[in-house]
């Protein structure tokens, strides 16, 4: 049976000068959303770039997303425990430092060059992002009234989308080479020439990721020096056995499945866009040009999050989530059934409807958890491992039936989100 809405954020609201402190804190934490969105979306540029350098199949190159998003599965629960030990703010700082280390590790990976070393660097980078996600998402959700949690998280996620919008342009300009050889041309090179070519092309990631590493360290220092308000009602401490288990909350568990399929669908689509747009029957454009079109996918997501933040002030979160999931499934289906510009722009517009999904599923999942909020966040962020598993499956499908029709997998994911939005997200009393 439904339970009464808890007073999860009441202490935050009643803190002295809460309005001012909350606005300042929200501004600071929003910068984290921008950075992890930017770095995550750079993977969409690394996929075609490393695919060409190392002459990989679709399934092999999707190990980039597997390495990156599997870190969420490995490090989410430890990150939740880290919040119990050191609090939200220090967990954010540690996450930024770990991200900086991962970015710097791209330099030795490119110096070899070695595909496994690139995957290792991505895992370290993603471990840091995991700590940020586990800490920042619930922190924003409880940083104000519970009724506007979805709207607030959508607003901060809009700046995450700003990062994802800018990243493809950044990657296109600094990472992808306009003089890159085709796979056929590369296979005709002598072994020594091939090695020299790979060294040259891989070196393009060194300066961008070094700069990102330094920026992350600077942000870690800034966050560490800022006094963020504590959230004691959304945190429990090591040794506290009185708060129950997250597994008893059905809406949280089903929400974790929702995060799994949503992130898997979003990453699967984003990872294939460059290769999809370069297909003769779709866009028939060079990969470097296609990388620019990827930014429109993320631009539509950014617009959707600003619009969604306003709509969620008036519309129930579950209702809006169900509507946008139906729209996304329809657009992907249209793209699969058409060719040319219709196929291109229908898949790009999916970003507009993706926009509110993650923050909406997240806030619905952690609703009414009280002191279990941090642990519930850890479970939801762990489910981001969908971004590791589903793109590899879609890559294997694409190797067999082609990129165009491999998008059936995201359609199935969006249909599950429709179920969660209308039926699975309603909290019931934990037994």
CATH number at residue 120: 1.20.1250.20
**Which residues, other chains included, contact 244 with Cβ-Cβ below 8 Å and sequence gap of 6+?**
372, 430
How many CB atoms are closer than 10 A to CB 334?
Answer: 16
Contact status, residue 134 vs residue 83, Cβ threshold 8 Å: yes
> What phi and psi values does residue 411 have, to the nearest 5 degrees?
-60, -45
Establish if 134 belongs to a structural domain: yes
Q: Which residue numbers in the chain have pLDDT < 50?
A: 1-20, 234, 237-239, 242
133 falls within a domain: yes
Domain extent for 341:
18-226+239-424
What count of residues does the chain have? 431
Of 318, 290, 339, the C-alpha closest to 48 is 290
Per-residue pLDDT at 10: 32
Q: Evaluate whether residue 429 is within a structural domain.
A: no
**pLDDT attached to residue 152:** 79
Nearest alpha-carbon partner for 149 in 4, 13, 251, 324: 13
pTM higher than 0.75: no
* pLDDT tens, position by position, 5-33: 233 333 333 333 344 457 777 888 888 88
| Residue 8 belongs to some domain of the structure | no
**101 burial type by CB count under 10 A (0-12 exposed, 13-18 middle, 19+ buried):** middle
Q: CA nearest 49: which of 164, 186, 155, 238? A: 186
**Total domains present in the chain:** 1
Q: What pLDDT does 146 receive?
A: 67
The answer to whether position 3 is within a domain reads: no
- Residues 358, 150 contacting (CB under 8 angstroms): no
DSSP 247: G
**Domain presence at residue 1:** no
7 lies in a domain?
Answer: no
Does some domain include residue 231? Answer: no
pLDDT tens for 160-203 read: 878 878 888 888 788 876 556 666 677 777 888 888 888 888 88
Q: What percent of the chain has pLDDT over 90?
A: 30
Cα separation, 304 vs 302, whole angstroms: 5
């Amino acid at each position: 049976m439904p339970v009464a809405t808890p007073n999860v954020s009441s202490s935050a609201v009643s803190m002295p000068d809460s309005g001012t402190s909350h606005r300042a804190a929200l501004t600071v934490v929003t910068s984290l959303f921008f950075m992890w969105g930017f770095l995550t979306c750079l993977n969409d540029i690394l996929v075609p770039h490393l695919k060409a350098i190392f002459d990989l199949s679709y399934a092999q190159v999707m190990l980039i997303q597997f390495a990156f998003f599997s870190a969420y599965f490995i490090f989410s629960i430890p990150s939740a425990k880290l919040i119990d030990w050191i609090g939200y703010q220090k967990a954010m700082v540690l996450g930024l430092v770990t991200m900086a280390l991962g970015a710097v590790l791209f330099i030795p990976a490119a110096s070899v060059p070695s595909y496994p070393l690139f995957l290792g660097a991505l895992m370290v980078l993603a471990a840091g992002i995991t700590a940020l996600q586990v800490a920042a998402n619930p922190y924003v959700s409880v940083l104000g009234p519970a009724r506007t949690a979805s709207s607030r998280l959508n607003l901060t996620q809009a700046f995450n989308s700003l990062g994802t919008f800018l990243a493809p342009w950044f990657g296109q300009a600094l990472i992808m080479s306009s003089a890159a050889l085709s796979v056929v041309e590369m296979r005709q090179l002598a072994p020594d020439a091939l090695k020299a070519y790979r060294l040259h092309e891989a070196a393009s990631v060194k300066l961008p990721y070094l700069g990102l590493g330094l920026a992350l360290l600077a942000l870690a220092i800034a966050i560490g020096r800022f006094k963020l308000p504590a959230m004691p009602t959304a945190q429990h401490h090591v040794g506290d056995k009185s708060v129950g288990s997250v597994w008893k909350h059905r809406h949280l568990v089903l929400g974790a499945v929702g995060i799994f399929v949503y992130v898997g669908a979003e990453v699967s689509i984003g990872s294939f866009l460059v290769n999809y747009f370069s297909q003769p029957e779709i866009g028939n454009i060079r990969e470097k040009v296609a990388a620019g079109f990827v930014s429109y996918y993320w631009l539509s997501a950014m617009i959707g999050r600003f619009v969604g933040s306003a709509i969620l002030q008036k519309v129930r979160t579950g209702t809006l989530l169900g509507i946008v999931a139906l729209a996304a499934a329809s657009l992907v289906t249209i793209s699969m059934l058409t060719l040319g510009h219709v196929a291109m722009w229908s898949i790009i517009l999916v970003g507009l409807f993706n926009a509110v999904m993650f923050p909406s599923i997240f806030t619905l999942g952690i609703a009414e958890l009280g002191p279990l909020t941090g642990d519930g966040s850890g479970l939801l962020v762990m489910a981001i491992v969908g971004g590791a598993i589903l793109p590899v499956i879609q890559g294997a499908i694409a190797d067999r039936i082609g990129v165009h029709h491999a998008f059936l997998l995201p359609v199935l994911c969006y249909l599950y989100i429709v179920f969660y939005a209308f039926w699975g997200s309603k909290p019931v009393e934990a037994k």
